[in-house]
């Protein structure tokens, strides 16, 4: 039996899905704003930020929102679609609230001028407790949605359900690897 992707017809489920989609697209908009800020720091006639650190902060914000927040938010959208309608959506709403709060922490940490931006090949960070609180809230928020989706698709067969379960397991593994790294670094 083949599994088909069916968009929800339940109004509550559609409302939740629209909010998550709006958040995901907003994350791309924020990433674009940070990219524009980075461009303005290097434009000779403008030079909004006069130091290389300002450029690095803008790049760190851009990379964080375009590679992490956007992708995790859109993955949450896919998990919500795969899980299907449910009478209790509290975990998904809590996850969205945590992701929005996390975004606020990340933006505040990048724009505050505190901490040192570190540009890496993957997720660039600003070494500031506020930034790390934002990353933790981001992980917990998406983890709530992933857990809910994995639990709701566990009895189903089909490629979509299997793919979403695998994505949830990989997300949990990634969070566990980050926690092990933090513990080993003594943070």
- Looking at residue 20, its pLDDT comes to 95
- Give 33-91 as a 3 state SS string: HHHHHHHHHHCCCCCCCCCHHHHHHHHHHHHHHHHHHHHHHHHHHHHHHHHCCCCCCHH
- Looking at residue 5, its pLDDT comes to 60
Residues ≥6 apart with Cβ < 8 Å to 186: none
- Looking at residue 66, its pLDDT comes to 92
Query: What is each CA distance from 15 to 8, 12, 41, 149, 178, in whole angstroms?
Result: 10, 5, 39, 17, 32
- Looking at residue 136, its pLDDT comes to 87
- Looking at residue 89, its pLDDT comes to 83
> How much is the pTM?
0.84
What digits encode the pLDDT tens for the residues 98-139? 999 999 999 999 998 888 888 877 778 888 999 989 988 998
Q: Which residues of the chain have pLDDT under 50?
A: none
- Looking at residue 160, its pLDDT comes to 77
């Amino acid at each position: 039996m083949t599994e088909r992707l069916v968009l929800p017809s339940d109004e509550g489920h559609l409302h939740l899905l629209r909010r998550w989609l709006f958040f995901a697209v907003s994350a791309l908009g924020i990433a674009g704003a940070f990219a524009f800020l980075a461009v303005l720091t290097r434009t000779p006639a403008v030079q909004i930020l006069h130091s290389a650190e300002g450029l690095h902060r803008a790049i760190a914000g851009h990379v964080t929102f375009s590679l992490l927040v956007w992708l995790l938010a859109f993955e949450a959208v896919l998990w919500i679609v795969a899980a299907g309608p449910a009478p209790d959506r509290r975990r998904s709403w809590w996850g969205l609230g945590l992701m929005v709060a996390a975004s606020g922490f990340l933006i505040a940490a990048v724009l505050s001028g505190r901490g040192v931006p570190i540009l890496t090949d993957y997720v660039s960070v600003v070494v500031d407790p506020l930034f790390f609180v934002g990353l933790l809230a981001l992980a917990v928020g998406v983890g709530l949605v992933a857990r809910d989706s994995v639990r709701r698709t566990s009895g189903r067969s089909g490629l979509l359900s299997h793919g979403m379960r695998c994505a949830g397991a990989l997300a949990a593994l990634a969070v566990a690897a980050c926690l092990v790294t933090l513990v080993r670094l003594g943070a």
